[in-house]
């Protein structure tokens, strides 16, 4: 049971943070299908930082620099989406898809290049970061507390405040709803949209980092992040682009995802003798069903996905 | 002695060229302090380009802009805002899911430590709306309030920014005559306070009522600026169009025959709100008459037509066309059995803009045996032949004839293509929704003539219009719609525009004369 | 018409623009790949990029060249089917990112029918197409009736399909390895016949009639889209669904039909690939095969033209296969994935450049017209 809570919380943290990222991007008017790819690159940034940091560094410093590395990697990578979607009026779905392919491919190429450079016989795409990962984890009894859990909560709270209580949030949402209106009162739509994409890049990168530190102490980048970026999109839609709902949805989805790791620990579930694959599928099936119910009355930002062209007003 | 500057804003000799056309050809517009200045011109006369120049959206090739006698450079809307220039756009620039207050403060938010401080803003808005009689609930969402209230929100937006130069772009298009009167009196109040108002319109009567002076543009050229007290509507219209126009439509008395459309108790659910958009509406259209649905935009006309054409299902009621019940008939069958529909939005419904002109002309008939063979292959030659015939007959002009991409055609010719398609189907019932929207006088005349000709050919015509002039000129019978219901039925020569306005705004209603 | 305008007209030709744009994308993609190789190790970069471009030409013997050309063609034909699937849906305004999942389902059905039910090859192929059509149809129906964004539902279905097929094919796997048993030993009848094609490709038995079948399908897709009533409706729906609805096209039916057709195309691709016996299914795969995603690349690189995709699919597969010829002690094969991903990215920018080019041409033409007029007056 404790294990279930632990896994639920950590998966929910990933989903919530990434979904909030997507939510910022979409409130600005840019659909970010590329979250999956951004997560991989963010994870790569964090993993490499963990790998190369000296073991003697103070725990807080390690934590901060690793997080910064993943944020930065995510931001830089999200610029691919930003430039194409905002300056080049590209089809956002197509570019997002390209980013999803680009992310894992680039990660594998980079990791292998590093591995091969260190040791010509090492052609794996694995990064080991065992020692540095420990700083994020505190064992409370049997419960493995991860600093990312409170961080995710903090992100949710901040997202709520930023979106609903600040000038920035008001302006960002205006750009996603009615960019012409925003432009007419002197808001720079391009800049706001970049801001949305940058935030989604940062949070996507961070989510990737959490995802890989949640499990084992090394990561094989060929595996990517197993569709978590897409699940986060489903969480965002089910959460109707609102931070609080996203938090709750993330918990729900996190639990279903966690079940596949720990279902053997529950007698009733184990007695069902379902293959583990069924539990792996569960979050995707659930999100498909959930989408059926929420999509009719969707409150997606009205102008999302539509390139803003100053000339066409 | 200090020279008192007479003009609040001056645009001198503005020239703006676009590839192929000169949108503004040495145009001069001088707005005095505290006056209401009308800017008159047809669609395409260059009014919106001129305003875009004023707001820094375009940079003119020639000419200069002066504020209080000082030359200024306006590079973007922010610069215009800093100079105290504000505008109520024809299509409101409001974020629908925001509250009225949020829309007002957007872009000029007051913050403390990064957080929004709305209390002061709320007080200021309350004071302004009281002072100028602009009543609107600051916490209501824009999507829930009426068009009139949305307009007030736009006006409050300008006042909140303390703008001194207020521009109204076609503000009365969405208002009833009564609301228009109120707006004019608000404008006069504002002018009396020393604010300068530019009033863009093509409605002569309103200019006569409201404006002090009027500048006229035609085809990108500056014609003249006149004092209203020395002018007449006839003079103004001649200046606007460049010739004397006959505003009334020549037509014989109608001779209604058999009923072609019979609607009973029609109710259509609203997409945006919980209540019904069309509520228990019953009426008839006969062959050989033009029945006009008048009303302010958003009172259920769109949904009524959607219900008739099958784009939306009915919640209750029946529709009978030519004696056959079509209530649950699929759209295609309705079209085949004699319904034609000139849609409200030709870009949304009427045309596939990226298709060629010929493909759009057969858009409703491509499946007929003359255009598609038994194997399901299109007969391109036949399509071309048919399209060319219609293009010639209805004088649809385009760059490359039948193969022109519809997107590249002018609005008037796009509309002609739609009309050609719908009329040539030889329908029994023609539903025309705002068929003249956004067109110039010549095209409007043409379309009105076509409608009357179709009527005389024995077709039933249901015209939905927001323009009272059109309603009065073209129709044989007028039904006024208000909040989803028909609140009155009139004959055009037995009612005045003012009286219609009372019904359109809901201040009066009468139970419909029971027919038969 | 003077000479100048003829030149302009040539530039304006949309076919010319599309081909040029695709070539630019390819060059940009290769350039990025080259730069990445340079960064990793400048010494062998030129050779590596040459190896990718050479693919099977790497072998000195003509027999080997033909043999591996055959293998590339087999893979390219599967890719072509996936890209046709993406293209077909895109013409109707739907983004079929689910081609990957439909491909997986097709593979599952084909192999299950072949290995478990011992059906002949043509039944297996039909099963593959049908199962994938159902998968596509689900996305279509969800979109038509519940307004579920097809991109999201397709992505979810990709994962669900993968897990389901893994589960299904576990029943037909080898005892000791996580691979499905080879068709050649279990049920030869399920292998698609070669009709002598293998002889041309140095007895490469994987080259079956699936290859010409794929090319013929591309042509068929072109005919359907350009010449038929169905294609007319479909494209109208894709360009403006409101107008399609207004003139009585059955919008919902069309969406479902489109997605089913798209699905069956991807499924067919999987069928002709796995029923050639070229590969066995790995039942522990944790990621959806890249074939469907590369199909997106090929569809866009081919300028969204069915005939264009024949070439673009071959090219993408060519460099993907070529990736395995780079010097493994310095580089890795995924560099090809990186290049093709970047090519898709560039395809996203193509539209923008086309619009810019046309605006520029408009300006020029008008300018020319004006000077001409001025001269005449």
**What contacts C31, CB < 8 A, 6 or more positions away?**
none
The three-class DSSP label of residue C59 is coil
Query: Within 10 A of B449 (CB to CB), how many other CB atoms are there?
Result: 14
Establish if C363 touches chain B: CB-CB under 8 angstroms. yes
CB A38 within 8 A of CB A229: yes
**Quick check: A84 and C345 CB within 8 A?**
yes
Flag whether pLDDT at A120 surpasses 80.
Answer: no
Give the number of A-B residue pairs with CB atoms closer than 8 Å. 67
> What pLDDT is attached to residue C353?
80
CB B204 within 8 A of CB B172: no
Q: Which of the four pLDDT bands, split at 50, 70 and 90, describes residue B516?
A: very low
> What pLDDT is attached to residue B243?
67
Average pLDDT over residues A243-259: 91
| Inside any domain, residue C24 | no
**Quick check: C229 and B378 CB within 8 A?**
yes
> What pLDDT is attached to residue C10?
67
Minimum Cα–Cα distance from A299: chain B residue:
B97
| Inside any domain, residue C42 | no
- Calculate helix-pair angle for C251-274, C291-301, nearest 10 degrees: 110
CB B342 within 8 A of CB B450: no
Query: Within 10 A of B280 (CB to CB), how many other CB atoms are there?
Result: 15
CA B416 – CA B391 distance, rounded (Å)? 9
The more confidently predicted of residues C25 and A266 is C25
Which residues partner with B293 through β-bridges?
A: B464, B479
Distances (CA, A) of C52 to A110, A222, C86, C326: 18, 21, 26, 7
Nearest-neighbour CA in chain B from C222: distance (Å)? 13
Number of domains in chain C: 1
Structure letter (DSSP) for residue C228: B
> What pLDDT is attached to residue A291?
84
| Percentage with pLDDT > 90 across chain A | 47
| Inside any domain, residue C247 | yes
Question: Over chain B, what is the mean pLDDT?
Answer: 87
> What does the pLDDT look like over B150-199, one tens digit per residue?
999 999 999 999 999 999 988 887 777 778 888 999 999 999 988 999 99
Nearest-neighbour CA in chain A from C63: distance (Å)? 31
| Inside any domain, residue C114 | yes
A313 interaction partners in chain B (CB closer than 8 Å): 57
**Quick check: C363 and B19 CB within 8 A?**
yes
The three-class DSSP label of residue A125 is coil
Instruction: With CA atoms as reference, report the closest residue to C341 among A97, B309, B41.
Output: A97
CA B303 – CA B313 distance, rounded (Å)? 10
The three-class DSSP label of residue C18 is helix
C236 interaction partners in chain B (CB closer than 8 Å): 352, 355, 359, 363
> What does the pLDDT look like over B310-368, one tens digit per residue?
998 999 999 999 999 999 999 999 999 999 999 988 888 999 998 999 999 999 899 99
Nearest-by-Cβ selection for B116 from A166, A178, A299: A166
Is beta strand B429-433 parallel, antiparallel or unpaired with respect to B316-321?
Answer: unpaired
DSSP string, A231-249: HHHHHHHHTTT-HHHHHHH
Tokens of B59: 């940079």
**Quick check: C228 and B376 CB within 8 A?**
yes
> What pLDDT is attached to residue C375?
40
CA A264 – CA C144 distance, rounded (Å)? 39
**Quick check: B93 and A302 CB within 8 A?**
no
**Touching subunits for chain A (3+ Cβ pairs under 8 A):** B, C
The more confidently predicted of residues C49 and A54 is C49
Establish if C340 touches chain A: CB-CB under 8 angstroms. yes
CA C185 – CA C183 distance, rounded (Å)? 5
> What pLDDT is attached to residue C369?
61
CA B349 – CA B433 distance, rounded (Å)? 12
| Inside any domain, residue C153 | yes
Determine the straight-line distance between the first and last CA of chain A, rounded to whole angstroms: 57
Flag whether pLDDT at B208 surpasses 50.
Answer: yes
Q: What ipTM goes with this model?
A: 0.86
Determine the straight-line distance between the first and last CA of chain C, rounded to whole angstroms: 18
CB B289 within 8 A of CB B314: no
CB B440 within 8 A of CB B412: yes
Which residues partner with B266 through β-bridges?
A: B281
The full length of chain B comes to: 516
Flag whether pLDDT at A313 surpasses 60.
Answer: no
CA C146 – CA B168 distance, rounded (Å)? 42
The more confidently predicted of residues C16 and B385 is B385
Q: What is the pTM assigned to this prediction? A: 0.85
Which residues partner with A143 through β-bridges?
A: A140
CA C267 – CA C274 distance, rounded (Å)? 11
Q: Which of the four pLDDT bands, split at 50, 70 and 90, describes residue B1?
A: very low
**Which residue has tokens 């961080």?**
A151
Determine the straight-line distance between the first and last CA of chain B, rounded to whole angstroms: 78
> What pLDDT is attached to residue B262?
94
Nearest-neighbour CA in chain A from C180: distance (Å)? 17
Which strands sit side by side in the sheet containing B316-321, from one edge to the other? B276-286, B259-269, B316-321, B324-325
C149 interaction partners in chain A (CB closer than 8 Å): 237, 291, 295
Nearest-neighbour CA in chain C from B64: distance (Å)? 25
| Inside any domain, residue C278 | yes
Burial (Cβ within 10 Å: 0-12, 13-18, ≥19) of residue B436: buried
**Quick check: B116 and A187 CB within 8 A?**
no
Nearest-by-Cβ selection for A288 from C97, C156, C332: C156
Nearest-neighbour CA in chain C from A140: distance (Å)? 32
Instruction: With CA atoms as reference, report the closest residue to B350 among B337, B338, B364, B336.
Output: B364
**Quick check: B335 and C248 CB within 8 A?**
yes
Instruction: With CA atoms as reference, report the closest residue to C177 among C107, C282, C106, C273.
Output: C282
> What pLDDT is attached to residue B515?
40
Nearest-neighbour CA in chain A from C285: distance (Å)? 10
**Quick check: A88 and C348 CB within 8 A?**
yes
Nearest-by-Cβ selection for A166 from B93, B94, B114: B114
CA C222 – CA A64 distance, rounded (Å)? 56
SS3 content of chain B, % helix, strand, coil (to 5): 35, 25, 35
> What pLDDT is attached to residue C377?
32
The full length of chain C comes to: 377
CA B461 – CA C118 distance, rounded (Å)? 66
Average pLDDT over residues A84-107: 90
Distances (CA, A) of A122 to A49, A101, A221, C166: 19, 24, 14, 30
CA B29 – CA B14 distance, rounded (Å)? 9
**Quick check: A284 and C328 CB within 8 A?**
no
DSSP string, B343-406: -S-IIIII--TTSBHHHHHTTTTTTSTTTB-TTSBB-HHHHHHHHHHHHHHTT---SSGGGSBG
**Quick check: C349 and A287 CB within 8 A?**
no
Nearest-neighbour CA in chain A from B374: distance (Å)? 38
Nearest-by-Cβ selection for C156 from A95, A284, A295: A284
> What pLDDT is attached to residue A312?
47
DSSP string, B20-32: TEEEEEEEEEEEE
**Quick check: A178 and B93 CB within 8 A?**
yes
The three-class DSSP label of residue B461 is strand
Reading chain C (377 residues) residue by residue, the pLDDT tens digits are: 344 444 556 667 777 888 888 888 899 889 998 998 888 888 888 888 888 888 888 888 888 888 889 999 999 999 999 999 999 999 998 999 999 999 999 999 999 999 999 999 999 999 999 999 999 999 999 999 988 888 889 989 999 999 999 999 988 888 888 888 888 888 888 898 888 888 888 888 888 999 999 999 999 999 999 999 999 999 999 888 899 999 889 888 999 999 999 999 999 999 999 999 888 898 888 888 888 888 998 998 998 899 999 999 999 999 988 888 888 777 888 888 888 888 889 888 887 787 777 777 777 766 666 555 444 33
CB B47 within 8 A of CB B59: no
Instruction: With CA atoms as reference, report the closest residue to C346 among A80, A32, A110, A108.
Output: A80
**What is the separation of C-alpha C302 from the centre of its chain, rounded to a whole number of angstroms?**
9
B359 interaction partners in chain C (CB closer than 8 Å): 232, 236
CA B305 – CA C196 distance, rounded (Å)? 63
- Calculate helix-pair angle for C99-111, C291-301, nearest 10 degrees: 130
Average pLDDT over residues A157-166: 94
Structural domain range at position C104: 72-301
| Inside any domain, residue C370 | no
CB B267 within 8 A of CB B278: yes
Establish if C232 touches chain B: CB-CB under 8 angstroms. yes
> What does the pLDDT look like over B447-489, one tens digit per residue?
898 899 999 999 999 999 988 888 888 999 999 998 899 999 9
| Inside any domain, residue C371 | no
């Amino acid at each position: 049971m404790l294990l279930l809570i632990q896994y639920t919380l950590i998966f929910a943290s990933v989903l919530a943070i990434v979904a909030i990222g997507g939510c910022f991007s979409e409130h600005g008017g840019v659909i970010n299908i590329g979250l999956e790819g951004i997560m991989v690159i963010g994870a790569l940034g964090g993993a490499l930082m963990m790998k190369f940091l000296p073991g003697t560094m103070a725990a807080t410093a390690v934590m901060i620099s690793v997080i910064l590395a993943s944020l930065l990697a995510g931001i830089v990578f999200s610029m691919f989406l930003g430039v194409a979607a905002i300056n080049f009026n590209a089809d956002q779905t197509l570019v997002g898809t390209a980013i999803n392919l680009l992310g894992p491919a680039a990660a594998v190429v980079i990791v292998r290049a590093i591995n091969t450079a260190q040791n010509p016989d090492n052609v794996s795409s694995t990064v080991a970061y065992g020692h540095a990962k420990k700083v994020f984890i505190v064992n409370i009894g049997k419960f493995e507390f991860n600093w990312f859990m409170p961080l995710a909560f903090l992100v949710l709270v901040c997202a709520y405040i930023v979106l609903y209580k600040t000038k920035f949030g008001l302006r960002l949402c205006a750009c996603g709803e009615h960019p012409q209106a925003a432009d007419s009162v002197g808001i720079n739509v391009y800049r706001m949209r970049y801001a949305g994409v940058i935030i989604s890049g940062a949070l996507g990168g961070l989510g990737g980092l959490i995802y890989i530190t949640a499990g084992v102490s090394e990561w094989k980048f060929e595996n990517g992040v197993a569709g978590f970026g897409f699940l986060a999109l489903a969480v965002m839609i089910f959460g109707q682009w609102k931070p609080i709902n996203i938090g709750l949805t993330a918990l729900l989805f996190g639990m279903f995802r966690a079940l596949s790791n720990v279902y053997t620990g529950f007698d009733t579930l184990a007695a069902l003798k379902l293959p583990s694959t069924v539990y792996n599928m569960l979050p995707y099936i659930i999100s498909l069903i959930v989408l059926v119910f929420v999509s009719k009355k969707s409150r997606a930002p009205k102008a999302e996905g539509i390139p803003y062209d100053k000339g066409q007003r | 002695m200090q020279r008192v500057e007479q003009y609040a804003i001056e645009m001198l000799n503005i020239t703006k060229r676009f590839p192929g056309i000169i949108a503004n050809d040495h145009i001069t517009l001088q707005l005095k302090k505290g006056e209401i200045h009308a800017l008159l011109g047809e669609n395409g006369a260059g009014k919106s380009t001129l305003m875009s120049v004023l707001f820094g959206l375009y940079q003119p090739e020639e000419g200069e802009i002066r504020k209080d006698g000082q030359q200024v450079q306006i590079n973007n809307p922010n610069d215009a805002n800093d100079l105290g220039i504000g505008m109520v756009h024809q299509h409101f620039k409001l974020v629908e899911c925001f509250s009225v207050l949020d829309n007002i403060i957007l872009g000029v938010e007051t913050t403390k430590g990064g957080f929004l401080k709305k209390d002061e803003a709320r007080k200021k808005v309350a004071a302004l709306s009281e002072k100028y009689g602009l009543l609107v609930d600051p916490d209501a969402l824009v999507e829930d309030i009426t068009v009139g209230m949305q307009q007030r929100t736009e006006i409050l937006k300008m006042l909140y920014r303390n703008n001194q130069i207020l521009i109204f772009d076609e503000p009365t298009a969405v208002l009833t005559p009564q609301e228009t009167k109120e707006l004019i009196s608000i404008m006069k109040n504002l002018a009396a306070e020393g604010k300068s108002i530019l009033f863009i319109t093509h409605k002569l009567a309103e200019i006569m009522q409201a404006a002090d002076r009027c500048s006229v543009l035609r085809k990108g050229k500056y014609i003249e600026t006149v004092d209203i007290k020395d002018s007449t509507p006839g003079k103004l219209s001649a200046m606007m169009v460049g010739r004397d126009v006959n505003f009334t439509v020549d037509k014989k008395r109608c001779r209604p025959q058999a009923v072609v459309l019979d609607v009973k108790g029609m109710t259509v659910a609203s997409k945006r709100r919980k209540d019904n958009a069309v509520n228990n509406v019953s009426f008839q259209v006969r062959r050989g008459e033009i029945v006009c649905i008048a009303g302010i935009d958003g009172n259920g006309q769109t949904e009524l037509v959607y219900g008739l054409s099958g784009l939306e299902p009915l919640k209750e009621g029946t529709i009978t066309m030519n004696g056959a019940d079509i209530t649950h008939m699929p759209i295609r069958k309705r079209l085949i059995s004699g319904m034609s529909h000139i849609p409200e939005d030709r870009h949304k419904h009427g045309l596939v803009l990226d298709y060629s002109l010929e493909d759009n002309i057969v858009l409703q008939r491509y499946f007929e045996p003359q255009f598609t063979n038994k194997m399901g292959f299109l007969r391109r030659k036949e399509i071309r032949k048919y399209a060319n015939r219609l293009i010639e007959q209805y004088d649809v002009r385009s760059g490359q004839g039948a193969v022109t991409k519809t997107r590249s055609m002018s609005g008037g010719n796009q509309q002609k293509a739609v009309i050609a398609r719908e009329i040539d189907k030889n329908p029994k019932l023609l539903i025309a929704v705002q068929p003249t929207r956004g067109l110039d006088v010549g095209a409007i005349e043409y379309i009105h003539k076509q409608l009357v000709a179709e009527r005389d050919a024995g077709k039933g015509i249901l015209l939905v219009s927001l323009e009272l002039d059109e309603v009065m000129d073209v129709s044989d019978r007028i039904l006024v719609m208000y909040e989803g219901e028909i609140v009155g039925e009139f004959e055009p020569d037995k009612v005045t525009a003012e009286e219609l306005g009372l019904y359109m705004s809901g201040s009066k209603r009468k139970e419909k004369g029971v027919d038969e | 018409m003077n000479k100048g305008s003829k030149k302009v007209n040539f530039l304006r030709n949309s076919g010319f623009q599309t081909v040029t744009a695709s070539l630019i994308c390819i060059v940009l993609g290769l350039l990025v790949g080259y730069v990445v190789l340079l960064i990793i190790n400048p010494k062998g970069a030129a050779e590596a990029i040459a190896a990718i471009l050479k693919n099977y030409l790497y072998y000195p013997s003509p027999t080997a060249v033909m043999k591996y050309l055959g293998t590339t063609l087999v893979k390219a034909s599967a890719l072509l089917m996936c890209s046709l699937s993406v293209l077909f849906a895109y013409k109707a305004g739907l983004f079929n990112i689910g081609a990957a999942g439909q491909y997986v389902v097709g593979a599952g059905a084909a192999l299950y029918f072949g290995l478990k039910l011992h059906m002949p090859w043509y039944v297996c192929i039909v099963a593959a197409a049908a199962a994938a059509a159902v998968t596509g149809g689900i996305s279509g129906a969800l979109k038509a009736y519940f307004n579920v964004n097809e991109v999201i539902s397709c992505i979810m279905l990709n994962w669900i399909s993968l897990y389901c097929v893994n589960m299904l094919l576990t029943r037909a796997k080898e005892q000791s390895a996580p691979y499905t048993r080879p068709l050649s030993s279990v049920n030869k009848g399920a292998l698609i016949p070669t009709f002598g094609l293998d002889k041309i490709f140095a007895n490469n038995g994987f080259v079956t009639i699936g290859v010409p079948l794929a090319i013929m399908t591309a042509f068929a897709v072109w005919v359907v889209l350009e010449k038929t009533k169905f294609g007319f409706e479909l494209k109208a729906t894709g360009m403006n669904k409101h107008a399609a609805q207004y003139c009585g096209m059955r919008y919902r039916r069309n969406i479902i039909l489109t997605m089913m057709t798209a699905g069956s195309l991807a499924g067919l691709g999987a069928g002709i690939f796995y029923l050639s016996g070229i590969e066995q299914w790995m039942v522990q795969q944790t990621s959806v095969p890249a074939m469907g995603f590369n199909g997106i690349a090929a569809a866009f690189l081919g300028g969204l033209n069915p005939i264009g995709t024949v070439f673009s699919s071959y090219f993408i597969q060519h460099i993907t296969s070529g990736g395995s010829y780079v010097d493994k002690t310095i580089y890795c094969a995924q560099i090809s994935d990186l290049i093709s991903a970047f090519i898709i990215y560039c395809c996203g920018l193509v539209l923008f450049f086309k619009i810019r080019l046309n605006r520029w041409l408009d300006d020029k033409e008008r300018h020319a017209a004006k000077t001409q007029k001025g001269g005449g007056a």
